[in-house]
Structures are given as structure tokens and as C-alpha cells.
Structure 1
Amino acid sequence: MGASFSQFFPPHPTLTEANLPSQKGKVFIVTGGTSGVGLELCALLYYAGAKVYLAGRSEAKARAAIVRIKADSTPASGELIFLSLSLEDLTTIKPAVDAFAAAESRLDVLFNNAGVSLPPRGSVSTQGHELQMATNCLGPYLLTQLLLPTLIHTAEKSSPAAVRVIWTSSIVVDTSAPTSGMDISELTNVPSSQQKNYANSKMGNWFLASALADQVGSKGILSLTQNPGNLKTGLLRHAPWILGFATSPLLYPAKMGAYTELWAGLSGDLNVEDGGKYVVPWGRLHPAPRPDLVAALKLKDDGGTGVAALFLEHCERLTADHR
């Protein structure tokens, strides 16, 4: 209970624009960078001199976001570039990665920031998968795997843990995930409850962060998941009005969530051994993750329940044809 309480009422952020070192020469991708937390994160990185790719579906929204960020920045600092992709349509992801790889030889941090929450019941992706699972897990998983060559290449020339992949979870992991994190049967027998589907996708983000840490931690890449915080963003646009009304007093500006992601992506307090861990608002490691969820991250041979491995197999199977 205390760990959840501290996520509703976090201590002050320790990494902000006030003490963020120059990011000149570094390259970042932020999915969902045209609004909310993603836009605020892009702004922070741009102000610090980084080259930032805003990845999303709408070029018009990306151009508007770029204009807004530049208008608030004096003098101009980094670079802002639109990268076209739709996470819910797996066919768009490889072309996006190919376009990025044609332009860039390095990628310092991939922020898997974009997500969808509580869309209308029965919403599905272009490939017919439950929309939250597709947008929050399948698309980011495929994007990350296709970007690994560039991430690994960058890590070879960087200090350990400087290159990172940041996934986005939610406080529902603590408050709503069932024992062992997920009922794997619900991946094929999709629940009618959109709240349950959302919780599964957010637990899935932690599973994917942990699996990636096992996959590339030895190459010096740090993979983490994070709960950006309870925020006033468009993520709740599909939620029942009563939920928004009830939670409004506990919601913070989107920029605070950007501080959480900024710390996960750039804090010097983290190292490769922190791979697979969970970051909470406004930038600190989870003080007391649920033991059953930690066990779900481990294989049965290592004393865990092996749920994360089963989820990884599911994501690999559904995205394999889009490599």
C-alpha cells in the first residue's frame, strides 16, 4: 500500500531542465511525441540540444508540435524530426525503422511512450488484435526489436547503460494486476473488460522491459519500464466521465510525467544491473514491487512462475511476419 501511495504523492523530481546536461550529438526516438507526456519529453530533450524523432501517425500533429516546441525555445537548440509510424498497424513499423536507419547511424534512447487506454469495447488493431495490447505492447515490441542493430551499434561506442530502451507501464500494475501479473489465457480469450485489457498491456510492458534486459544487457543496453505518474493527458479521453471526475484532484501536469521518463532515460544513478526494473514518479526505482510480479519476470528454473516468458512468446509469434 505504501508503494502505491508514494506514486500518488511522489517526492520532487531530481532531474529536470534545470540540471539536465547537454544532449548535443545524441539521437532519441519518442513515440507519441505529438501530445501529452511525449510532447513535454521531446521539448526537454530539444532544449538540451538533442536530435529528437517524434514518432506517430499524424504528420500534421507532429508539425504542430514541432512549431509549438520551437516557439517556446529561445534560442533554438536541438533538432525535431517527424517519423511516420502507427503502432497499432504492424505493417508501418519496418518502413519507419528503415527510414530512420537510412538517416541515422546512432540511437541513444528509445522512449516507448505512446499508448492507448480504455478505447470503446471491441476496438481492434489493423491486424485484428485487441487495440490496447496491439498499441501498447505488440507495436513497441516490434519497433524495439527492429531498432536493436542501431541501439547495439551505439552501445558499442558508449559507456555502459548510456543506451537505453524505456517502456511505459502504469500504476494499475500495482493496483490491478492479478497474481503473477497476467492470466495468459486472456491473450487469446480476450476479456470484455477494457480495464482488464489495459492492465494486461501495462503489465506486458514490464514483461517486455525485463525480457529485453536479459536479451541485450550484456551489450551495455539498459531496458527499464516506468509509471510516468497520474497525469492530466489525453490518455483518459475514452474513460468514463465519472472516473475522470473522481481522479482529477490526484492528477498532475503532463510535464511531471516527462520528468519520470527523463530520469529513466538519462539518470546517471542507473546502471546495466538495473535492467528490467521499474521506475516510479518522478524518477526513482520502485521501492517495493509486488513479490508475485517479480516472480513472474523469472523463469521457472530460476524460481519464478515464467509468465513473462510466455508473454514474450506471444508477442514474438504475433509480430514475426512483420520483420
Structure 2
Amino acid sequence: MPKISQFSAFFPPAPKFTDKDLPSLKGKVYIVTGGASGVGYELAKILYVAGSIVYIAARSTPRCEGAIEKIKLETRASAKKNGELKSMVVDLADMTTLKPAAEKFMTEESRLDVLVHNAAVMTPPAGSKNKHGHDLEVGTNCLAPYVLTLLLEPIIIRTATAPGTQPLSVRIVWVVSMLQGGTLPGAMKFDKDGTPVILEKPFMGNYLQSKAGSAWLADEFAKRLGSKGVLSISIHPGLMRTELQRNWGFFATVAMSLAFRSPPVFGAYSELYAGFSPEIKEEHNGGHMMAWGRIAELPKELVQGIKSKAEGGTGAKEKFMKYCDREVKNFL
């Protein structure tokens, strides 16, 4: 595949897969984490207008219900063909909320066509932890999505293997960062017991580590579920103005607002491409996509991490998965 330049990563070409390319999604079911605002909100709105059942996953009932009412208000013109919007209350900083939400979902629905791990936290105040004492970025961006996927794995497999399900249409989308040029040496640093080290430098170091972890989780589920017909893909949705920058200081926010000029709907197009584009084939499973919908390559550091030491790699992904399994076992 052609290499994507740094310039093209910052200034991508026009989206080639948008809401206009979607068929009717009537009868299909989707979950979008972080669906109450930003990119996730725009994606949920697109899927709703296409006729599907969309679960907006957010940390509180008011956030979910507020987003649902707003989407309905904004899409009144297409109300006759719209689908259905539902709430899924999950706090990714509190993994005890995940199992009840997943179990409730599986009692209400018979299928799950695409799970979009859109929610994330970036550069919170130093020392921020989730409810269980993990670094907030690793906990929110890696551990909680891992738990949610494991809990929903039965219905994902059942959907992919059901008669009438279109091949390669059942997908798990892991939203990451601009990994090209933004990956740390070795991708992730570990302490003696295999826990990712909390970095004081560089700026965004912990966030970049967490997004390397997300890309490795995409690869992991491609390996676990690929034989069942499930695609698991990571995507950098692009540089946009969203709530993700809410923890940045004033000057950084002003500077980045000049660079991040695209509205959130462009990020939704990126996620739409990863979740629905027919261009994505079996050979792309576990792979990486970029804004606003392009097949890309993972950086060398992440590829080396996926390979074991026996294969000439670093074995970092294997170490990370052992850490994840150790930390999430009590929430399954």
C-alpha cells in the first residue's frame, strides 16, 4: 500500500466514504461509545438517519438522553426513515459499570453489527486515575474498551456467523491517534511488573502510549475473532475541534484551534469508513486506517511490538495483553 506522508496525515484529502454512501441500515444495531458529543455524536446521528438502532454509550443518563433529544431535533426532516436511538450508560473510568450495561444490551438485542470504541480521554491533570487506581488514559482508552469487547464478544460472534449476515460487515472499530510521527520509541514503556509506566514527559506521552495499546487491541481481536468473520480495525479519525482537547491549557487550545480546523463530522466520516467501507477486506483485519478514510500502515514501533522476540520483535504487545488480562479479570 502507498505510504502516507506526514503532510497528508495533517492535511488529508476529501472523504471518500460518507453518509451518502451508506445503504439502508434498517434492522442493524450499533454501539458508539462517547456518542453524546463530538465525533461520536455525529456518527450516531448518521447511523440513526440511515435507519439503524444506535446505542449512545456515555457516562450518565442525562448525557445519553440529552444527545438523543438533540439528534431527534436535528433530524426531524428525515423522521419517517430514521431508526431508533437508545441509551447505554457506561463510565469508562469505572469498569464496574460495564458488565451491567453489556448484559442489559444482550437481553434487549439479538445482534451487534459494529462496536465503535470512539470515547477517549486525553491529557487529563497529572496523576489522574480511574476508579480502580489505573492511569486514567490507559484505563479509559484501553482497559475499559477491552472489558466491554470481551463482554459483548458472544453477541458479536453470533451476529457475524448468523445466516444472512453480509461477510465482513461485523466490525470492531478502535479509534486511536495520529500514530505516524506520534509514537514513542518502543511504543510503550513498562515497569518491572509489566504495568505501563506513567510518563511525565513528553507532553501527551501517556495518551500516545494508551493509543498504541488501542491499536494492539485491534490486532488482538482480529486474531481472536477473524476466523468468525469479524473485522477489528484501528483508525486515526483526523485532527478536529472536539471535547477531547478540553484539558489543554489556554495557549495550547488557541494554537491547536488554528491547526484543528475540521468539524467533528469529518471524524465521523473516518469512523464510518472503518466500520462500513467495502474497500476493507479480510487482509486488512487488525490493520490501521487514517483520516478521512484511507488504508494505512501501523508505525514500525507498533509492528515490532506485535511481533514476539522470537519473531524479531519486541514482544511489547504480549506484555501489554498480560497486563490487561491481569487488571480486568474481576470485571468480567
Whether these two folds match at TM > 0.5 is yes
Which of 182, 190, 194 matches 1:184?
190
Matched, 1:285 2:291: no
CA deviation after TM superposition for structure 1 residue 308, in Å: 1.1
Matches within 5 A, 1:23-38: 23-38=25-40
The residue aligned with 1:3 is 5
CA deviation after TM superposition for structure 1 residue 184, in Å: 2.4
Unaligned residue ranges in structure 1 (runs of 5+): none
CA deviation after TM superposition for structure 1 residue 291, in Å: 2.3
The residue aligned with 1:52 is 54
The residue aligned with 1:99 is 104
Matched, 1:126 2:131: yes
Q: Which moved further from structure 2: 238-247 or 201-210?
A: 238-247
CA deviation after TM superposition for structure 1 residue 2, in Å: 5.3
| Structure 1 Cα separation of the partners of residues 118 and 325 of structure 2 | 20
CA deviation after TM superposition for structure 1 residue 277, in Å: 0.7
Normalising by structure 2, report the TM-score: 0.93
Which of 225, 229, 234 matches 1:216?
225
Q: Which aligned runs of 4 or more in structure 1 are off by greater than 4 angstroms? A: none
| Structure 2 Cα separation of the partners of residues 160 and 294 of structure 1 | 27
Q: Deviations over 1:40-91 (max 9, x none)?
A: 0000000100100001112112111111111121232110000111111111
Contact 1:159 1:220 in 2 (8 A): no
| Structure 2 Cα separation of the partners of residues 291 and 125 of structure 1 | 30
CA deviation after TM superposition for structure 1 residue 271, in Å: 1.7
| Structure 2 Cα separation of the partners of residues 242 and 267 of structure 1 | 38
| Structure 2 Cα separation of the partners of residues 10 and 281 of structure 1 | 6
| Structure 1 Cα separation of the partners of residues 101 and 308 of structure 2 | 33
| Structure 1 Cα separation of the partners of residues 41 and 314 of structure 2 | 37
RMSD: 1.5
Q: Secondary structure at the match of 2:273?
A: helix
Number of residue equivalences: 321
Q: Deviations over 1:112-153 (max 9, x none)?
A: 000001111111101011111111000000000110000000
Matches within 5 A, 1:30-179: 30-73=32-75, 74-76=77-79, 77-157=82-162, 158-171=165-178, 173-179=179-185
Unaligned residue ranges in structure 2 (runs of 5+): none
Matches within 5 A, 1:222-301: 222-251=231-260, 252-286=262-296, 288-301=297-310
| Structure 1 Cα separation of the partners of residues 188 and 46 of structure 2 | 34
Q: Secondary structure at the match of 2:87?
A: strand
Sequence identity (%): 42
Normalising by structure 1, report the TM-score: 0.95
